[in-house]
Amino acid sequence: MNQHTATSHPKSIACAQNTGMQKPGTQNYRELPQRIGIGTPVNPQQFGYGLQALGRLLWMFVVSSLLLCGQSIARPYDDVIESGVLTIFVYEDYAPYSWVEGGELKGIDVEVGRAFAAELGVEADFLVRGADENIDDDLRVNIWKGDLIHRKAADVMLHVPVDREVDARNNLAVIMAPYFLEQMAVVADSSVLPELDTFGRFLYQPIAVEVDTAGDFFLSNAFRGQLHNSIRRGRTFGDAVDLYNNGEAVALMGSRAQAEWVAFQSDKESKVHQPPMPGIVRRSWPIGIAIKHDSRDLGYALGDVITELINSGKLAEITKKYGVEYIVPENL
């Protein structure tokens, strides 16, 4: 899998790739001239059959369009206001940004989403899903196309990398309004590692990480693979946190916000470190929102809300509740 420079979810950082997407249905339209006999000698009876076939295709198109009207798809600003509901995508099991605890959805991105809805004067409806193989898949499933079964998509997606390459590959989505600067970091048990100036410390000490994330790929390749026996992988970030909290690992690698949140809620004395990370794809990246390509007016309205949250200090107050220091994105 091709590591990418930046993305929303750490798993997608490690797995982002160029999917070579094709516009839906183009192969059928390319075959259509041959189906109705264009460019070949035909008799009137064959031409009549061709017109019948074309008529059936047009009828199927009309029926499909009517069915799509009843599905949940990303919508422009006026449609959102008229409906009274803003559908917001957040990642599942992704503390401190979005996760369920005691049956309640909470996190930084959840509170930002609620601020969006409150400012627009509508209700917030959260679409919560796990990360797909890469950010391109996340944008397709959650913004411009929807899932395979219900075709349900969100009006806005949170925690998207503000990255030129990602934006260029996904022309049916618009990435905008950076609201947070994310970085890579390590949280460590201070009683075992009071200081951490090199990952060489993990030649003999176990470190936890969520599997198939940027941190996992970095640790697997650091020091030419010599840390392999020290890596303790969790299927989810929550599993990796459990490995750290129960003492199976003396440290945990993830995003800086994740590391600060773990230190904030852990019973053990913990400290966040950012030692040199030679060879890592990128140590920091801005995150923003994504909307569908024909919903730019909604994106501009939500961008204004983000600007107000940042300038008023409310976004810093939100992150502080989760033990996370707010850092303004570099390009603001």
What the chain holds in terms of domains, given with CATH numbers, is 77-181+285-320 (3.40.190.10), 183-273 (3.40.190.10)
Mean pLDDT within 262-289: 94
Is pLDDT of 296 > 90? yes
Is the pTM for the entire model greater than 0.85? no
Higher local confidence (pLDDT), 250 or 72? 250
Q: How confident is the model at residue 132 (pLDDT cuts 50, 70, 90)?
A: confident
For residues 28 and 41, the model is more confident at 41
The answer to whether the Cα torsion of 73, 76, 79, 80 is positive or negative is positive
Residue 140 — pLDDT band, cuts 50, 70, 90? very high
pLDDT range class, residue 331, cuts 50, 70, 90:
low
Mean pLDDT value of segment 250-259: 97
Q: pLDDT at position 9, please? A: 64
Identify the band that residue 200 occupies on the pLDDT scale cut at 50, 70 and 90: very high
What's the rounded mean pLDDT across residues 32-46?
A: 39
Question: What mean pLDDT do residues 275-288 have?
Answer: 92
Work out the pLDDT band at 8, boundaries 50, 70, 90. Answer: low
User: What's the mean per-residue pLDDT of the chain?
Assistant: 83
Task: Name the token pair of 327.
Answer: 């850092």
Report, as an integer, the average pLDDT of 306-332: 93
Q: How confident is the model at residue 50 (pLDDT cuts 50, 70, 90)?
A: low
Q: What is the mean pLDDT of residues 183-190?
A: 98
For residues 317-332, give the mean pLDDT: 90
Segment 300-307 long-range contacts (CB within 8 Å, at least 24 positions apart): 301/77, 301/120, 302/116, 302/156, 302/177, 303/176, 303/177, 305/115, 305/116, 305/119, 305/120, 306/112, 306/177, 306/179, 307/177
Residue bearing the bigger pLDDT, 279 or 64 = 279
pLDDT of amino acid 31: 31
What pLDDT, in 10s, does the model give residues 208-232? 999 999 999 999 999 999 999 999 9
Helices 237-245 and 256-265 pack at an angle, to 10 degrees, of: 40
User: Does residue 316 contact residue 306 with C-beta atoms inside 8 Å?
Assistant: no
Question: In whole angstroms, what is the distance from residue 291 CA to residue 306 CA?
Answer: 14
Judge whether residue 15 has pLDDT over 50. Answer: no
Residue 63 pLDDT exceeds 90: no
Give the pLDDT band (50/70/90) at residue 151. confident
Look at residue 71 in the predicted model and tell me its pLDDT.
45
Residue 238 tokens, joined: 């929550």
